[in-house]
Amino acid sequence: MTPRDDDSLVNVDELVSVLREHEGPPQPVANGAAKQVASAPRRRRARQAAQLVAALAIALLVGSGLGFGLGSSVTPSGSARDNVVGYGFLPARSWNVVQSGAVGAGSKAHAVAANVPLRETGAPDVVPYATLESLPQGGIVIAATFGLRGDPGEDFKFPVDSLPLRMESAELVGPITAPEIAQYHLRAGVGGSNVDVRIYFGDATPSQQLLAAAERQLERLVVSSEQVTIAARPTIVPPDRPVTLFGAIDNERGGEEVAIQAKDCGQSFFRVVSGATTREGGGWSTEFFPAITTTVRAVWTGRASSQVTVRQRAMLRFVSKPADRTRFVVSVVARAQFWRRNVTIQRFDRRLGRWDRYRSVILTEQRAAGSWVWTSGQFTARLPRGSMLRAVLPASQAGPCYLSGTSLPVRT
């Protein structure tokens, strides 16, 4: 770290410390903002001050070259003092903070803050058990998990809220691992993210001083998703199956229109392929049939999300001709042509319980209908009745716009 970077981090700590001691920021930083905060009711004043703390601290971190990005959804592992990206806790004296993970479909980011040494050696987990096992009186551990908003099956668990989160919204769920440790649980939908926070105290009945200390650390929680987000599930799509796209907008309003744009493999431009309407809380979801490896993004009020690539498996049709059961036809049905590509024919070995290579077929026939192309090949095989065959398009022949594909089996 260069001296300049270190100075910037110290400024962040000093700024947060000063703004915590006063209900408004110092006059040289933001005179207008200070007046607004000072004139607001006490609760609103505290929220505005904390939000301004986060905004100013983030601005300093960006200026120091640390790579803190408001649009980032990836939080690399490491100390938050050295690397704060998107989700986690702002640096604080006397607190240890680690964070890791990525936010997306099926993946979550984690951050842990503690006023005691963290005993974990790897990435932070949902519950830092190793630290909790030796949590002393006066010890506080806060574990936060960040997920992407937009999945209806998850969103209902996270009531819409805004930063900073408050201890008064947390529910006491009882002791864990030992009777002297108290656990509080807090869930909130913040912007485009679902935030799950667990606060642990080394006292069965934490004092007001400890509760206040935990709340001060909660005020350092940063949830910086994009203005509009998108995720896909699954990201590898079988033939004839849709992909579920979901995400959220950061104003948390329902009734907003989100356009889904796609850029097919081999194309250089995005086109609108679908749309969705946000639910209350800002989440949205829709289904989409890619048909070819496709990059998708969500666009809301002219602002585009990050891009997600959905990879499509090749679709193979494999049949025997009704008039001649010894003749077989294999076709690749796609939005790209596969002329002169090789398809592998496999035969099932019942004795060994596996599929073995039987022969290969070169695709030499082609026809099109609309945007779809059938590329086919034929062969003759005289096999004992009841033999099982299938066609496989290997990855080397399917690329670049498709993944390998396998047909349904055919019985002779």
Q: What is the pLDDT of residue 323?
A: 76
Span 211-250, pLDDT tens digits: 999 999 999 998 876 889 999 999 999 998 999 999 999 8
Residues 6+ apart with CB under 8 A from 225: 73, 86, 103, 148, 149, 191, 192, 193, 248, 250
Residue ending a domain, among 269, 285, 312, is 312
> Does 159 share its domain with 38?
no
> Does 59 share its domain with 2?
yes
> Does 303 share its domain with 319?
no
> Does 219 share its domain with 75?
yes
- The pLDDT confidence band at residue 88, using thresholds 50, 70 and 90, is confident
Q: Which long-range contacts (CB under 8 A, 24 or more apart) does 360-368 make?
A: 361/330, 361/391, 363/330, 363/331, 363/332, 363/338, 363/339, 364/339, 364/340, 366/337, 366/339
Residue (of 357, 402, 410) closest to 375 by Cα position: 402
How many angstroms separate the CA atoms of 16 and 102, rounded?
27
Residue 203 belongs to domain spanning = 68-223
- Read off the CATH number of the domain in which 356 is found: 2.60.40
> Does 127 share its domain with 256?
no
Residue ending a domain, among 268, 287, 312, is 312
- The count of structural domains within the chain is 4
> Does 241 share its domain with 270?
yes
> Does 198 share its domain with 251?
no
- The pLDDT confidence band at residue 153, using thresholds 50, 70 and 90, is confident
How many angstroms separate the CA atoms of 184 and 167, rounded?
8
DSSP label at residue 292: S
Q: What is the pLDDT of residue 209?
A: 94
Residue ending a domain, among 312, 341, 357, is 312
- 333, 315 in Cβ contact below 8 A? yes
- Read off the CATH number of the domain in which 238 is found: 2.60.40.10
The answer, yes or no, to whether residue 22 has pLDDT greater than 70, is no
> Does 189 share its domain with 280?
no
The residue with tokens 């769920």 is 173
> Does 199 share its domain with 85?
yes
Residue (of 34, 191, 13) closest to 95 by Cα position: 13
> Does 54 share its domain with 197?
no
Dig out the tokens for 68 from the structure. 């803190």
> Does 98 share its domain with 213?
yes
3-state secondary structure of 375: strand
* pTM confidence score: 0.67
- 30, 36 in Cβ contact below 8 A? no
Q: Which helix (H) or strand (E) holds 139?
A: none
Dig out the tokens for 322 from the structure. 């009704």
> Does 28 share its domain with 79?
no
One-letter identity of residue 335: R
What residues form DSSP beta bridges with 98? 79, 112
One-letter identity of residue 10: V
